[in-house]
């Protein structure tokens, strides 16, 4: 009877020790540096597992949680002690929504996997069309009046439009306004200083930034 109790205690102790060992990495993080939709760039980082004995290496891959498909980012394992993996700057997402960071032993047997849901940052790619502006301010060096555009043709990623003055129809000079994507017109307030500008620029934007391309319209200071 005593031997049986001792045996049960030993088994319990072993199971307790095993339960306290965890090979899961923690603090997985990733910021997408490629601002094109459906493409990723940047570095996946993590903290090592609390149990490091027997850990050989890691892998970091893309994972589709719906189908269970793993999109391999590299055939090489990541050495233990290296807690990051930099992906190609134009890595296609495919159907993935997560990264999976896996811990292996020296025989490349999986010890644990951690899943991290990433955010695909993407700026607008379209340009504002049919941009129009007429100066109604009667003073030289000042502008005012309505800015209009084709409200039926907007970038699906855009949440708004930024308007700027420009002295060369390319470079942003002074921001005039930021309007929501649902706006149908913007009226430049009276006595807005022209500061040498000859054009108005319009650029789609969202929370991830402005589109790379802008549209422009020149105007005549009628003062």
pLDDT in tens, the chain (223 residues): 555 444 564 554 454 444 445 899 999 999 999 999 999 999 999 999 999 999 999 999 999 999 999 999 999 999 999 999 999 999 999 999 999 999 999 999 999 999 999 999 999 999 999 999 988 988 889 999 999 999 988 899 999 999 999 999 999 999 999 999 999 999 999 999 999 999 999 999 999 999 999 999 998 877 6
What's the token pair of residue 104? 């292996």
Name the nearest CA neighbour of 49 among 103, 121, 97, 109. 103
What is the spatial distance between Cα 160 and Cα 203, in angstroms, rounded to a whole number?
Answer: 9
**pLDDT value at residue 5:** 45
Task: Report the distance separating Cα 94 and Cα 214, nearest Å.
Answer: 29
Give the global pTM. Answer: 0.78
**What pLDDT score does 8 carry?**
61
**Exposure on the CB side of residue 159, measured as CA atoms within 13 A:** 7
- 119 alpha-carbon distance from chain centroid: 5
* Bridge partners, residue 217, by sequence: 200
Which tens digits make up the pLDDT trace of 185-217?
Answer: 999 999 999 999 999 999 999 999 999 999 999
In whole angstroms, give the CA distance from residue 210 to residue 39. Answer: 17
What does the pLDDT read at residue 13? 47
CB atoms within 10 A of CB 124: 27
Name the helix (H) or strand (E) containing 6. helix 2-20
| Cα distances (angstroms) measured from residue 55 to each of 14, 81, 193 | 20, 10, 65
CA dihedral 50, 52, 54, 59 (to 10 degrees): 90
């Amino acid at each position: 009877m005593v031997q049986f109790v001792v045996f049960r205690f030993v088994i319990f102790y072993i199971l307790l020790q095993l339960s306290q060992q965890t090979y899961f990495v923690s603090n997985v993080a990733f910021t997408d540096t490629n601002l094109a939709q459906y493409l990723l760039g940047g570095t996946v980082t993590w903290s090592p597992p609390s149990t490091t004995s027997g850990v050989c290496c890691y892998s970091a891959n893309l994972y589709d949680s719906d189908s269970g498909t793993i999109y391999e980012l590299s055939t090489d394992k990541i050495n233990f002690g290296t807690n990051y993996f930099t992906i190609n700057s134009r890595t296609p997402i495919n159907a993935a929504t997560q990264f999976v960071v896996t811990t292996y032993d020296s025989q490349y047997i999986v010890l644990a996997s951690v899943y991290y849901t990433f955010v695909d940052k993407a700026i607008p790619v379209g340009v504002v069309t049919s941009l129009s502006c007429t100066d109604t301010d009667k003073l030289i060096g000042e502008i005012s009046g309505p800015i209009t555009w084709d409200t039926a043709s907007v970038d699906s990623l855009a949440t708004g439009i930024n308007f700027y003055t420009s002295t060369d129809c390319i470079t942003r000079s002074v921001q005039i306004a930021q309007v929501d994507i649902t706006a149908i017109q913007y009226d430049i307030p009276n006595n807005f200083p022209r500061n040498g500008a000859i054009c108005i620029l319009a650029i789609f934007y969202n929370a991830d930034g402005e589109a790379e391309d802008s549209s422009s319209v020149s105007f005549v200071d009628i003062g």
